Structure 1
Amino acid sequence: MAGERETGITMIRLVRQMDAGPMLARAVYPIGEDDTSEMAERALGVLGADLLLSTVAALASGQAVEEEQNHARATLAPRLTREDGRVDWAQPADTVRNLIRGLHPWPHAYTFLHSTRYLLLRATVEPLAEAERLAAPAPVGTIIEALGDRLHVACGQKTVLALHEVQPEGRKRLSTRAFLAGRAIAPPASFHSVAGPA
């Protein structure tokens, strides 16, 4: 959600305090540009299994080297709630996209169009030149263009998010093309952070 470029797995020796033991092994996973938290979690599962096997082997052979953690740099991951997925369109497009990627598959980034809640499943950020052409006069949250495979939405700092996949609450996920085929959405309709009138 914060746009981190890498994550990883660390094996530690257990002590009485939470997450305070010395490190035995570490492995880094570079987060891809299109990775969601689900994709990273799957990759970390494979990486973690391999790291566990090599750590157990190092412990068994007496070759494991312990390294103390830097407790001054320790951070706690916050507990996520459904409310964390509420999109603030005043944020720059890359911040909104990171929210979408980071909260997939749960609790999902979401927004409202009229009274309907939509989960946002896949998006890209438009290049700066295109964003300047599209977003100059548009208030944040405005659907600027509804093209076949994307919805251009105005975001903060005159940036533009291209939505490629959405899911109306209680329905199946839809490509933007399928979404537009079933709804009459014409710019300048707007997404909002709270439900509006139907």
Structure 2
Amino acid sequence: MLKPEDLRTVFMGTPEFAVGSLQGLLDSGIHLVGVYTQPDRPKGRGKKLAASPVKQLALEHEIPVYQPQKLRDSAAVEELRQLQPDLIIVVAYGQILPQAVLDMPRYHCINVHASLLPKYRGAAPINKAIIDGETETGVTTMMMDVGLDTGDMLVKRSLDIGKNETSGELHDRLALLGREALEETLRQLCSGTLVAEKQNDELSCYAPMMKKEDGLIDWHRSAEDIHNQVRGLDPWPGAYTYLDGEVLKIATTTVNLEVSGEPGTILSADKAGVCVACGAGVLNIGELQLPGKKRLSAMNFLSGRPLFVGTQLEQP
């Protein structure tokens, strides 16, 4: 039987979502010979170069870190080949692996994806599941191939999505679940019991990367749909409308289906929230934010910027 310490392993990941999986590998005693992550990026007002969360953890444990601009470049591929990996594990790395890399490790390239494949292949599965009103999601480990999240599935773990849960909150829970799924995948790999299952392409759907424009609210849609849009885009890019020509971001919403009105019209505005009529039902807004300002509770927002019944939130 294989032992984790026998596996020369390369980990590829970048954001906070990948940190739990890397920590799980460290705790397992696996033989990590290198960590690949995206190049340092400018961050904050000073635009100073900042290391990714994965890089920070790797350096704390004195693991060699590699940050090629493009992994598909021949020099980068050769550098990776010199590490002689038996296994490559990828969690939200942010670069496409070329075939030369996919063919390199004898125990495959294994990816942790934040959906129950084949649903929600692509860059933003957490956001899209919430926006679509899904009540369940999860993580899937899979053997990588040249397609976009099309490889054979290995281990799945699922969880329920809360009716008011945001993508940020779900992200954190899925990161922990991803670690669990990866640990189980590693156990099965070492024991020789790992079984791959082909995806049914007919059941697949795509979750493209989110853009700021995705946050624009159409008040003629139902309150339920807008509520899902708001929480699916929280914390980024955020859902927004227009108030007197200014962008107004909204968050922390709930739905009331027993009231109605002209879509986009403010029906009430007090410390309990700002109620806006939708195509079906009413959206209660708990937090609001104007450009250059902090996100505020409805009560604090209204103390500085009153909103009046009958005000129409605009479309651009």
Hey, what does 2:245 align to over in structure 1? 115
How far apart are 1:2 and its partner, in Å? 1.1
SS of corresponding position for 1:106? coil
Structure 1 partner of 2:265: 142
| In structure 2, C-alpha distance between the alignment counterparts of 1:148 and 1:76, rounded to whole Å | 39
Mapped partners of 1:2, 1:21: distance in 2: 24
In structure 1, distance between residues paired with 2:147 and 2:257:
47
Q: Secondary structure at the match of 1:191?
A: coil
Partner residue of 1:17?
147
What is the CA–CA distance in structure 2 between the aligned matches of 1:139 and 1:21, rounded to whole Å?
Answer: 47
The aligned runs of 1:69-108 (5 Å cut-off) are: 69-108=199-238
Larger radius of gyration: 2
The verdict on how the C-alpha distance between 1:24 and 1:184 changes in structure 2, with shifts beyond 3 A counting, is closer
Residues 51-96 of structure 1, C-alpha deviation per residue, up to 9 Å, x if partnerless? 1011101011011122111122222212221111000000111111
Letter in 2 for 1:97: H
Residue 173 of structure 2 corresponds to 43
Q: Which runs of 5+ in 1 are unaligned?
A: none
Q: Which moved more, 1:117-126 or 1:74-83?
A: 74-83
The structure-2 alpha-carbon separation of the partners of 1:143 and 1:57, relative to structure 1 and needing over 3 Å to count, comes to: same
What is the RMSD computed on CA atoms of the aligned residues? 1.2
CA contact (8 A) 2:223 2:257 kept: no
> Helix, strand or coil: the match of 1:44?
helix
Is 1:153 aligned to 2:283, yes or no?
no
Counterpart amino acid of residue 184 in structure 2: S
**Paired residue type of 1:114:** D
> Which of 184, 188, 196 pairs up with 2:306?
184
1:103 alignment partner AA: L
Structure 1 residue aligned with 2:30:
none
Secondary structure of the 2:272 match is coil
Counterparts of 1:89 and 1:12 in 2: how far apart (Å)? Answer: 39
How far apart are the structure 1 equivalents of 2:294 and 2:148? 40
Tell me which residue corresponds to 1:166: 288
Instruction: Write the distance in 2 (CA, Å) between the matches of 1:81 and 1:171.
Output: 21
Deviates more, 1:179-188 or 1:50-59: 179-188
Deviation track 1:94-129 (CA, whole Å, cap 9, x = no partner) reads 11110000001111000011122111111100142x
| TM-score, normalised via structure 1 length | 0.90
Q: Which amino acid counterpart does residue 182 of structure 1 have in structure 2?
A: G
More displaced stretch, 108-117 vs 9-18: 9-18
SS at match of 1:153: strand
Instruction: Verify the 8 A CA contact 1:149 1:175 in the aligned structure 2.
Output: no
Does the aligned pair in 1 maintain the 2:256–2:282 contact within 8 Å?
A: yes
Question: Matched residues, percent identical?
Answer: 37
- What letter corresponds to residue 64 of structure 1 in structure 2? L
The SS at the match of 1:55 is: helix
Residue 174 of structure 2 corresponds to residue 52 of structure 1: no
Question: Are positions 1:33 and 2:163 aligned together?
Answer: yes
* 2-structure distance, mates of 1:146, 1:16: 52
**Number of matched pairs:** 186
TM-score between both structures, scaled by the size of structure 2: 0.57
User: In structure 2, what residue type is equivalent to 1:155?
Assistant: C
Give the alignment partner of residue 4 of structure 1, picking from 134, 152, 155.
134
Structure 2 residue runs of 5 or longer lacking an equivalent are 1-130
Separation in 1 of the partners of 2:302 and 2:271? 8
Q: Is the 8 A contact 1:149 1:164 kept in 2?
A: yes
Q: Which is worse superposed, 182-191 or 92-101?
A: 182-191
